[in-house]
């Protein structure tokens, strides 16, 4: 009887060990535990028969059974540890980082073409002794029009379609020219030489050449004996430096209420080499600025005596200049926030 039980325990040990060796997961080891060591497990069942043995044999078989139980529990622990280690190894292999791979290149930002063009404009006019003067973007009707010799009801107001605010008389400036009045009133009767950069707003039909929001750089020089030749010299020097020597410049007579005489200045279109394209409206020329001698009415509004002072002024569009410099054929690219546009202009 005892021999049977001992044999049975031997067989059970061999079988349990063989099975445990094939367990690959924690769940399989747990199933193995209930099969052999659990409440209804094979070893537990075998030990139930211990009571039916003659009393003198019980200790020997009991010891054997206890040792077996300890051995199996120990084997289970080892197997579970081995599985845990294998899992860790698998995870490490799966999550392996190849430190020899090339790194990801961080994308480097760059300045917007308008900003770069503006800075170049500041540099060129800085060399000619012009200072930057900051004037407001939100203006009054009086500064944007009236003080610039465009009284209410004057047909010239039709030249600029305006964004109004909910406050009567307060508008978004349609050009940087109202800054002329601010600068003159601050410095009169001293001579001045300033540029006034900033954003302007017009209710325009947006096209390849015209945006609703765009920059202008205004220039203003007031002093004694300033003539149209000074204006021309300054602009020729500017264009030479901005586009390189040899660009052709064209002065066309024009009309602005705040200058007299007035001109519009074109450079030959670098996109089509003067052949005619969509950007230059098939004329071969691209208008970059309006200019003229400051109207005496405006000088007086700024605090200068027109009998003793004269001046010139101009207003240019830096996006139009950037289009020429970088070969951009549509102004809408500037502010639609498509990063591919910025990446192309290196």
Interface with ligand FA5 (CB under 6 A): 175, 177, 202, 204, 210-211, 214, 216, 218, 256, 259, 262, 287-292, 313-317, 319-320, 331
Six-digit token pair at 57?
Answer: 């044999």
In the bound state with ligand FA5, the residue whose beta carbon lies nearer, of 125 and 214, is 214
**Nearest by Cα to 239 from 341, 121, 332:** 121
Strands 131-132 and 192-201: parallel
Peptide bond into 8 cis (omega under 30): no
In the bound state with ligand FA5, the residue whose beta carbon lies nearer, of 36 and 214, is 214
Give min distance, CB of 93 to ligand FA5, in A. 60
Could you tell me how many residues make up the chain?
A: 346
- Cβ neighbours of 343 (radius 10 Å): 10
In the bound state with ligand FA5, the residue whose beta carbon lies nearer, of 23 and 321, is 321
- Cβ neighbours of 259 (radius 10 Å): 25
Burial of 326 from C-beta contacts in 10 A (0-12 / 13-18 / 19+): middle
C-alpha pair distances (Å), 67 with each of 5, 6, 84, 222, 328? 14, 12, 26, 110, 88
In the bound state with ligand FA5, the residue whose beta carbon lies nearer, of 79 and 173, is 173
In the bound state with ligand FA5, the residue whose beta carbon lies nearer, of 29 and 216, is 216
Instruction: Report the C-alpha gap between 265 and 52 in whole angstroms.
Output: 119
Give min distance, CB of 181 to ligand FA5, in A. 12
Give min distance, CB of 159 to ligand FA5, in A. 6
In the bound state with ligand FA5, the residue whose beta carbon lies nearer, of 9 and 288, is 288
Give min distance, CB of 164 to ligand FA5, in A. 17
**Nearest by Cα to 26 from 94, 77, 92:** 77
Give min distance, CB of 309 to ligand FA5, in A. 16
Give min distance, CB of 308 to ligand FA5, in A. 21
């Amino acid at each position: 009887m005892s021999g049977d039980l001992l044999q049975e325990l031997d067989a059970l040990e061999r079988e349990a060990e063989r099975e445990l060796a094939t367990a690959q997961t924690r769940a399989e080891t747990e199933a193995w535990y209930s099969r052999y060591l659990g409440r209804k497990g094979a070893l537990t069942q075998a030990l139930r028969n211990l009571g039916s043995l003659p009393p003198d044999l019980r200790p020997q078989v009991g010891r054997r059974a206890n040792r077996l139980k300890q051995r199996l529990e120990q084997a289970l622990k080892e197997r579970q540890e081995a599985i845990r280690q294998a899992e860790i190894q698998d995870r490490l292999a799966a999550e392996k980082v190849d430190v020899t791979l090339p790194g990801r290149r961080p994308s480097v930002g760059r300045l917007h073409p308008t900003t770069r063009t503006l800075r170049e404009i500041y540099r060129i006019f800085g060399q000619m002794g012009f200072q930057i003067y900051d004037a407001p973007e939100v203006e009054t009707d009086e500064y944007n029009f009236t003080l610039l010799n465009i009284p209410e009801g004057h047909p010239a107001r039709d030249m600029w379609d305006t964004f109004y605010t909910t406050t009567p008389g307060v508008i978004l400036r349609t050009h940087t020219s109202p800054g002329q009045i601010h600068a003159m009133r601050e410095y009169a009767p001293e001579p001045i030489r300033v540029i006034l950069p900033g954003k302007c707003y017009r209710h325009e039909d947006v096209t390849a050449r015209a945006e609703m929001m765009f920059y202008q750089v205004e220039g203003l020089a007031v002093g004694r004996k300033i003539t149209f030749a000074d204006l021309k010299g300054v602009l020729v020097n500017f264009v030479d430096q901005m586009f390189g020597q040899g660009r052709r410049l064209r002065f066309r007579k024009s009309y602005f209420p705040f200058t007299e005489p007035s001109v519009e200045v074109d450079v030959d279109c670098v996109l089509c080499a003067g052949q005619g394209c969509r950007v230059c409206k098939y004329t071969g020329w691209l208008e970059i600025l309006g200019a003229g001698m400051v109207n005496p009415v405006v000088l007086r509004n700024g605090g200068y005596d027109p009998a003793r002072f004269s001046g010139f002024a101009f207003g240019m569009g830096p996006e139009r200049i950037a289009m020429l410099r970088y070969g951009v054929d549509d102004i809408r690219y500037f502010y639609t926030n498509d990063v591919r546009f910025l990446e192309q202009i290196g």
